[in-house]
Amino acid sequence: MSRVKPPKAALVAGADDVEAQFYEALQQGDLARLMAVWGDDDEVVCVHPGGMRVVGGAAIRASFEALFAKGGVPAVPEQVHRLQALGLAVHHLVERVQLPTAPGGGHAYVLVTNVYVQTAQGWRMVAHHASPGRPEPPPAVQEWPSTLH
């Protein structure tokens, strides 16, 4: 199985820069730029809202290529919670996605976890997990007790 090597990401100063590049590429439907943020490890993983787990760069590329067939995704990151230590960064955030089919416009709110690692080539995304969208924004802070799994 051949590995697809992504081009170097334009912004590699930190996980925040890679995340900004990911969302710009997602909004513009720019597959090459979007894939540039991903690590080149065969174990990178992506879960689209309500979708199956997609593992490996080639499979992730194919999934975004199919997604971009309809154009970019108008997703804006909000409420970012960051955890960073020793070359690893985990960002949990809310994506506010514009829904063009909703009367008068509307939004879906998607809970997302993005994981980044610092590599010899700079920071790279190694995991993107997005929940199914909701019609209302989640509260900024969830009070406990909440549903546990």
- Residues shown for the chain: 149
**Closest Cα to residue 118, out of 81, 93, 83, 85?**
85
Arithmetic mean of pLDDT over the chain: 88
Domains and CATH numbers, the chain: 15-130 (3.10.450.50)
66-125: per-residue pLDDT in tens?
999 989 999 999 999 999 999 999 999 999 999 877 566 789 999 999 999 999 889 999
90 with 113: CB under 8 angstroms? yes
Q: What are the CB-based long-range contacts (under 8 Å, 24+) for 55-60?
A: 56/3, 57/3, 57/4, 57/5, 57/6, 58/1, 58/2, 58/3, 58/4, 60/35
pTM for the full predicted model: 0.85
**Closest Cα to residue 64, out of 16, 25, 14?**
25
Least confident of 24-38, 52-66, 101-115: 101-115
